[in-house]
Amino acid sequence: MYSTIIRLFIILGIALAVCEATYVQCLQRVPIFTCAKMSCPDVGWAITHDHYPCDCFKIEKVLGKNRKWYKIDLPNGNHGYVTHDHCSSNGNVSQFAEEYQYYLDRPFQSNLSDQTFLNCTHPWFGSGCQYLLEINEDEFVRDSFEMTLTDNIFQQTCYVLLECGRSGSSICLDWREICNGRTDCLNDGIDEIGCFNLEINECNRNDYRCHNGLCIPKIFLEMKFVEAQCFDGSDKIIKNNHLLEANYRPHLFEYQEYVCRPDEGQFTCGDGQCVEDFGQCENNRHLALTQSISIQGNLFYPCWIVMICLSKIMNKIENVTCDQLMQSSEIIEEFKNCTFPLEFPVTPVLFGHVRFLYDLKQIDNINTTLALKPDYVCYDEQLCDFLTPTFPYKNLSCRYGNETSFDLNVELTTWKSVIDSVKPYFIGCITQRYQNISSHYSSLYHCKNSSKYISKYRILDGTPDCFLKDDERAFELSCLLNQTLRFQCPDEKQCHSPIIQEK
């Protein structure tokens, strides 16, 4: 049934190019014309906020611009035309598709039983089978997705139901970034509020628990040629190892619905690809992340320019290369007047709270082919209580760079390599301060020397979640869990999470 709805939905969406609405509503009193031209005589006036049935529209070229004319049905049985200037279409295509499918399943119970549906022969479609579109539906959708991959400018889709505060306007919140275990919104981490409920969630005996805590019916694990139902694809791993045949065909929107797992790189490219922080997305979404973290903020311009170049976040600013900028004696001289320690970037570099501080540097003594490492790393101590801070800075706790895995003898050449060096140090931090968490939750594992709790389903899943990595060494506990899909290798005491089979 659902595949039929999807196909009908696609066809109806294509038809909108000609048949856009099921009705038209005008926001003010406008004339109704007998044809789709201003020179045509009018037959009356549209009543404000009334709904006029509409099955198509026409496009008129006026001084090089398009004017849309809606063809509407009038109460007297005639039809007329109104422009889109003060009228708009409000058709509900998805509802119509569902109602039509219900009609096909139960023709005598549907409220559409007294309406006429023409059984069009493919590739004809429309209310009277009057339109022809010779195109493969699967190819049409796949081609549209491929266009986004090859476009040099990333076209992002934003989740607008949360007012997410991110640095700059170059990147917005993607729906996949909600409850992904890391803070993306700087306004109190609103994208992670309430997400611990997924960590403590248990599924009933007839359900399979996805790695992210959601539940799906176990029957999907037994069905061949059925795409992954978990957003993170963790059920697909089980299917690949036990049931799926070589000619398994993923469904049309599989990659558009995919949510990254912790073991894959947690930055979502928005199209199914997952990369590490500041890794490269094929669709260039990583460039939006780079731009967002590179904003000038309240930094003095020379301070911002020099730090952008020395940190290797970007190698070009306003179409001028860093090599050219760093040769400017004026910029280098003014850099000495910056306020130190200098916080750069002006926003957190990781997890919504980790920040970098730099001492004054003599540019002549710096190897500009390497990425400049921070002198201090600051963080929210309440989120990382397993760390002992060295000194306070404003409302943050800080440690020296060499105390947070920045070895003076290790040369780093990219901004990503700087982030990769410090990230393991803070992977054990929590994202939200716990509210009334107790040991009564049998589904939770308490990380050693830390206030962090994780789901026992994360034990031995190949990805350390605790600072001491004890969740990946809990050998005896891993086999005592009532998780039937865990497996044990020969001559081993531990029982691995099924998600590790893919590795």
Cis before 424? omega within 30: no
95 or 277, which is more confident? 277
Residues 6+ apart with CB under 8 A from 189: 183, 352, 431, 432
Using DSSP, state whether 370 is helix, strand or coil: coil
Give this prediction's pTM: 0.67
How many angstroms separate the CA atoms of 381 and 312, rounded?
Answer: 28
59-93 burial, b for 16+ CB within 10 Å, e for fewer?
eeeeeeeebbbbbbeeeeeebbbbbbeebebebeb
107: confidence class by pLDDT, cuts 50, 70, 90: low
Stretch among 158-167, 353-362, 368-377 having the lowest mean pLDDT: 158-167
Stretch 340-357: mean pLDDT, rounded?
94
- Which one is predicted more confidently, 68 or 192? 192
**Is 70 exceeded by the pLDDT of residue 88?**
yes
Task: State the Cα–Cα distance between residues 368 and 237, nearest whole angstrom.
Answer: 45
pLDDT band at residue 99 using 50, 70 and 90 as cut-offs: low
Rounded Cα distance, 501 and 12, in Å? 41
Q: Which two tokens stand for residue 326?
A: 């760093």
Q: Can you give the pLDDT at residue 422? A: 93
The DSSP result for 305-322, as a single string, is HHHHHHHTS-SEETTEEH
Asked whether residue 105 carries a pLDDT value surpassing 70, the answer given is no
Residue 240 class from Cβ within 10 Å (0-12 exposed, 13-18 middle, 19+ buried)? middle
- Note the pLDDT of residue 38: 81
Q: Is 29 left (phi over 0), alpha (psi -120 to 50) or beta?
A: beta
pLDDT bin (cut points 50, 70, 90) of residue 98 is: low
374-377-381 Cα angle (round to 5): 175
To the nearest whole percent, how much of the chain has pLDDT over 70? 74
DSSP annotation string for 57-115: EEEEEETTEEEEEEEEE-TTS-EEEEETTSEEE---HHHHHHHHHHHHH-TTTSTTTTS
How much is the pLDDT for 398?
96
Are 181 and 431 contacting, i.e. CB atoms less than 8 angstroms apart? yes
Lowest mean pLDDT, pick from 81-95, 408-422, 427-441, 458-472: 81-95
Q: For domain 2-131, which architecture applies?
A: Roll (2.30)
Top pLDDT among 380 and 252 is at 380
421 vs 147, higher pLDDT: 421
pLDDT at 185 over 50: yes
Least confident of 143-157, 319-333, 361-375, 432-446: 143-157
pLDDT higher than threshold 80 for residue 268: yes
Q: Where are the domains of the chain?
A: 2-131, 135-293, 299-426, 444-502
CB under 8 Å to 21, separation ≥6 — which residues? 54, 57, 70, 89, 90, 91
Rounded (to 5) percent helix, strand, coil in the chain = 25, 15, 55
Q: In this prediction, what percent of the chain has a pLDDT beyond 90?
A: 29
Kindly state the average pLDDT of the residues 20-49. 79
Cβ atoms of 357 and 349 closer than 8 Å: no
Asked if 353 contacts 383 with a C-beta cutoff of 8 angstroms, the reply is yes
How does residue 365 score in pLDDT terms, banded at 50, 70 and 90? confident
When comparing pLDDT for 233 and 48, which is higher? 233
Highest mean pLDDT among 9-23, 63-77, 451-465: 451-465
* Pairs from 7-10 (Cβ < 8 Å, separation ≥ 24): 7/137, 8/97, 8/100, 8/101, 9/93, 9/94, 9/97, 10/137, 10/140, 10/141
Pairwise pLDDT comparison (247 vs 482), residue with the higher score: 482
Compute the distance between CA of residue 204 and CA of residue 294 in angstroms, rounded to an integer. 46
Buried b (16+ CB within 10 A) or exposed e, 409-442: eeebeebbbbbbbbbebbbbbbbeeeeebeeeee
- What band does 275 get if pLDDT is binned at 50, 70 and 90? very high
Residue 376, Ramachandran bin (φ over 0: left; ψ between -120 and 50: alpha; else beta):
beta
Residue 344 clears pLDDT 90, i.e. is over it: yes
